Structure 1
Amino acid sequence: MGRSNLEKEFDALEAAIHGWAKKNNVPITQEETEPTVTLSELTDEARNLKRNSVKNSRCVSVDTISPAPDGRREKKESFKGKTQLVKFRCTTYEKKLLLAKAKLCGLSLSEFLRRAAMEQATIERLSDEEIEIYQMLAKYHNNFKSIGNMFRKKSPKLTEMVYETAKQIKEHLKRFSK
């Protein structure tokens, strides 16, 4: 019986990893790594851990392992005070639509639905391109003001038109900031 495609892909991936490890002098197998440390080397006669006895790759004592992963504390704090679970039914299309709207606002689905239920405003986040355009618009406002100041004495009519354009840009930026 021939080997499956999955087995072939796995073997190819394993060969690629070993090739990369050999090229970059990174140990992969137990034989290539340093010998392991025994329990007797880590403890004294009374079986108490020796302080700073062994260092790991980050030069941190082995006995200073964090009791919880970094991400878990943050997640726990975000659920603080939220103990009740609310469920409702919707179609697949409705769920995808809700997920898309939540993503546009930069919120999780649950936070988006919570705000919608409490009738709080959910504002769509601007894309990087839109932010860049509004920054450029602010620069244009400053440039129009400078141009108006340059031609103030020579051409009052042109200056008035340029100031009006700058005023319109500023009004738009004020509406945007709200």
Structure 2
Amino acid sequence: MKKIKIIILRCSIVEKKIISEMAKKCGLNLSEYCRSQAMHGEVNAIPELSKDEIDYFHLLKMYCSNFNRIANLIRDKDPQLVDNIRELVNKLTLLQQRII
């Protein structure tokens, strides 16, 4: 829904700084944060992720996809199953060596 109405809120400089910091910690802009607080009385904070955390989530997503593929191959009794499993094991081994 397009937001076109404006509500003016008066606060001190310190209060605005505190509210802005809280909004930033939640990953929201000031308007979104104030609107959520006013309508729901709470804000579900989604902290900003670091680059490493984002990379780990991408890896987890890739692992999930690979394991789903393995499950599908087992279910379908694909003859290339062993090769695909070996490839996955090799990738996991390389990743483990990078981490250690």
Same fold (TM over 0.5): no
- Higher Cα radius of gyration: 1
**Structure 1 length-normalised TM:** 0.27
**Structure 2 length-normalised TM:** 0.45
Q: Which one has more relative contact order, counting CA pairs under 8 Å at least 6 apart? A: 2
Greater helix share, structure number:
2
